[in-house]
């Protein structure tokens, strides 16, 4: 094997999270995908989500 691609998936769905998306999430290890579906998140989507290096973000907050 000459090259290896590593993907990180952070699945935070179905965790009964509520309120705004915590700012501490921006300090989590960079992920290719983050799942936040089926929680009770509310409020605006933080700027760091759209400016981050994540390739995919899933809603259904």
pLDDT band, residue 36 (cuts 50/70/90): confident
Please say if the pLDDT value at position 44 is more than 80. yes
CA atoms of 56 and 3, how far apart (whole Å): 23
Name the CA radius of gyration of the chain, rounded: 13
Joined tokens for residue 5: 């691609």
Antiparallel, parallel or unpaired: β 33-35 and 40-41 = unpaired
Q: Which residues contact 15 (CB under 8 A, 6 or more apart)?
A: 39
* 2-12 pLDDT per residue, tens: 676 667 788 88
This prediction has a pTM of 0.61
């Amino acid at each position: 094997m000459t090259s290896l691609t590593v993907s990180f998936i952070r699945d935070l769905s179905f965790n009964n999270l509520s309120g705004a998306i915590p700012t501490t999430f921006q300090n989590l290890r960079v992920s290719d995908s983050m799942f936040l579906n089926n929680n009770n998140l509310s409020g605006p989507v933080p700027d760091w989500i759209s400016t981050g290096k994540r390739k995919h973000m899933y809603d259904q907050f």
